[in-house]
Amino acid sequence: MRLNPTRSFRLLAATAALLGMTVAGCSGWTGATPVTGVTPPTPTIQAPPARGPFVAAANPLAVEAGMRVLRDGGSAVDAAVAVQAVLGLVEPQSSGLGGGAFMMVYDAASNEVTSYDGRETAPAAATPELFHEDGRPLDFMSAVLSGRSTGAPGAVAMLAEAQKEHGRLPWSALFSDAERLATDGFVVSPRLAGMISGQAPQARTRWADAYFTKPDGTRYGAGDVLKNPAYARTVAELASGGAEVFYRGHIAREIADTVAQEPRPGALTAADIAAYAPVQRGALCRPYRIYVVCVPPPPSSGVAVLQLLAMAEQTPDIEQGPDSVAAWTAFAQLQRLMYADRDRYVGDPAFVGVPVQGLLDPGYVASRAALAPGLTGAAQPGTPPGGVLMGADATHEPSGTTHMVIVDAAGNAVSMTTTVESIFGSGRMAAGFFLNNQLTDFSFSPTRADGGAAANAVAAGKRPRSSMSPIIVLDQQGRLVGAFGSPG
């Protein structure tokens, strides 16, 4: 099969975008072939390494905050802290301090890729029937708007840990734009205005109404200036006191108090928030044609990205390119097979055995890809080597999230997907920011009819499976070629 680097790169981008819209290893890639016995094809065209500094994010105010940090000599991770702090203010419908994230960090000096898991965790009192009442699952929106939907936030702790390892500037220097914009006010973007005026129930809670309603009783619209003094105080405290003040002070108590309010109070406590810890993991890296693709391990869906790409390599119709109906049909069929496996096998690896190597086993991948041409009806999960089939999943997949890509002057890079889950999360606010509804990413039905457990069932301290799959792409020498990700 003739390799076409341009088409290969386009498929990588399409995979990142499609997974982000519908879902969303080796311990540090160091340039060696990441899979024993598999030699990637010799590239016919050498992809140039990526160069910075630049910031790509969903709002120009956040981009400017990140660029200011880079101009001041900060690293890509330093800039990510500043970008997230501003996005939580100006794009609160998608992400914020009350949410979680996955971050991929590329170190140009060592060619090493590291993943950081800032996924939220279920409270200690959570049970598999978290979203059940009277023996039946709640409807999805009732669950979202409840206090039960909020997990211990992870984005702040994750960023703090990554910044300790990869930062160049003081932590305290990374919040000035967010504090200024919250104090003086920021211009409401057309996108945020559309969310404020929309009919999403999370935009109509008592917390959202109090924040988004002007003194004359009308809602803030595009071009209006919106101030958030509570958020200004929060980021000022974060700047001076570090993540500790977020997780072990009055901010954590405010979050817990808000979660405990009606309707359907949740069980998240200040102690749950104080106990939160991010997880640093090795990146999951595999060759894809002339590239090496690195993703976060579970509970991210990065393994699903790699499985899809591996199946695509086994599918000749994909080579017909983005203008081909046959190529898109094949891609859709492969996605169906990938989702069938993801929903039965992927969950928090601290609680379930995720057969990562089995899902990426060349023989298993080939057998799954061979099913695509004749696939009709619902795709069924396979049996990867080392896999134990879990119960059927009943996880809802709402839209949401935001993504950023940052490359600094030294060539270090960040690919980070961050979210409060649904639009404005649970619709509840504390300390100036919206709280996540991330626990609705768990399966609402913890078991199947025969009693088999779902891989993504609720459990105390567990991270829900995530669709987020930020991607770092390297060449065969371990140099950065690109970074991908997608909002939901």
What string of DSSP letters covers 344-381? HH-S-TTTS---HHHHT-HHHHHHHHTTGGG--SS---
Residue 13 pLDDT: 61
DSSP 392: P
Task: List, by residue number, the catalytic residues.
Answer: 401
* 229: preceding bond cis by omega (within 30 degrees): no
Number of neighbouring beta carbons within 10 Å of residue 458: 22
Least confident of 149-153, 237-241, 322-326: 322-326
Separation between Cα atoms, residue 216 and residue 231, nearest integer Å: 23
* 263: preceding bond cis by omega (within 30 degrees): yes
User: In the predicted model, what is the mean pLDDT of residues 279-294?
Assistant: 96
Model pLDDT for residues 95-117, shown as the tens digit of each residue = 999 999 999 999 999 999 999 99
Q: Is residue 378 part of a domain?
A: no
Residue 28 pLDDT: 36
Question: Could you give the percent of the chain with pLDDT greater than 70?
Answer: 86
Helix (H) or strand (E) holding 273: helix 270-274
Separation between Cα atoms, residue 366 and residue 12, nearest integer Å: 19
Contact yes or no for 482/405 (Cβ under 8 A): no
Residue 48 pLDDT: 61
Separation between Cα atoms, residue 13 and residue 6, nearest integer Å: 11
Q: Is residue 478 part of a domain?
A: no
Q: Is residue 296 part of a domain?
A: no
Separation between Cα atoms, residue 478 and residue 449, nearest integer Å: 47
Residue 390 pLDDT: 60
Model pLDDT for residues 348-382, shown as the tens digit of each residue = 999 999 999 999 999 999 999 999 999 999 999 99
Residue 410 pLDDT: 97
Q: How many domains would you assign to the chain?
A: 1
Residue 50 pLDDT: 66
Q: Is residue 89 part of a domain?
A: yes
Q: Is residue 374 part of a domain?
A: no
Q: Which positions ≥6 away from 105 have C-beta within 8 Å?
A: 76, 77, 113, 114, 115, 116, 162, 166, 412, 413, 414
Q: Is residue 345 part of a domain?
A: no
**Residue span of the structural domain in which 134 resides:** 54-280+396-452
Residue 51 pLDDT: 75
User: In the predicted model, what is the mean pLDDT of residues 324-338?
Assistant: 96
pTM listed for this prediction: 0.90
Q: Is residue 349 part of a domain?
A: no
Residue 6 pLDDT: 54
Q: Which pLDDT band holds residue 1 (cuts at 50, 70, 90)?
A: very low
DSSP 171: G
Q: Which positions ≥6 away from 473 have C-beta within 8 Å?
A: 9, 12, 291, 292, 293, 294, 480, 481, 482, 483, 484
User: In the predicted model, what is the mean pLDDT of residues 244-262?
Assistant: 98
What string of DSSP letters covers 135-161? TEEPPHHHHHTSGGGPPBP-HHHHHHH
- Reference 274, options 255, 258, 261; nearest CA is 255
Can you give the three-state secondary structure of 283-322, one letter per residue?
CEEEEECCEEEEECCCCCCHHHHHHHHHHHHCCHHHHHCC
Q: Which pLDDT band holds residue 9 (cuts at 50, 70, 90)?
A: low
Separation between Cα atoms, residue 448 and residue 450, nearest integer Å: 6
Q: Which pLDDT band holds residue 162 (cuts at 50, 70, 90)?
A: very high
Res 191 pLDDT > 60: yes
Q: Which positions ≥6 away from 267 have C-beta within 8 Å?
A: 123, 124, 125, 126, 148, 259
Res 234 pLDDT > 60: yes
Going 102 to 103 to 104 to 110, the CA torsion angle's sign is negative
Give the CA distances from residue 252 to residues 121, 243, 373, in Å, rounded to whole numbers and listed in that order: 14, 11, 52
User: In the predicted model, what is the mean pLDDT of residues 455-460?
Assistant: 93
Q: Which pLDDT band holds residue 407 (cuts at 50, 70, 90)?
A: very high
Q: Which positions ≥6 away from 434 have C-beta within 8 Å?
A: 92, 93, 96, 98, 99, 202, 207, 420, 424, 425, 426, 427, 428
Backbone angles phi, psi at 12, to 5 degrees: -60, -45
Res 336 pLDDT > 90: yes
Residue 49 pLDDT: 64
Residue 397 pLDDT: 55
Residue 401 pLDDT: 85
Res 71 pLDDT > 80: yes
What would the two tokens of residue 67 be? 């660029």
DSSP 454: B
Q: Is residue 287 part of a domain?
A: no
- Reference 147, options 272, 22, 23; nearest CA is 272
Residue 446 pLDDT: 76
Res 44 pLDDT > 50: no
Higher pLDDT, 20 or 22: 20
Separation between Cα atoms, residue 189 and residue 195, nearest integer Å: 10
For the chain, the average pLDDT equals 90
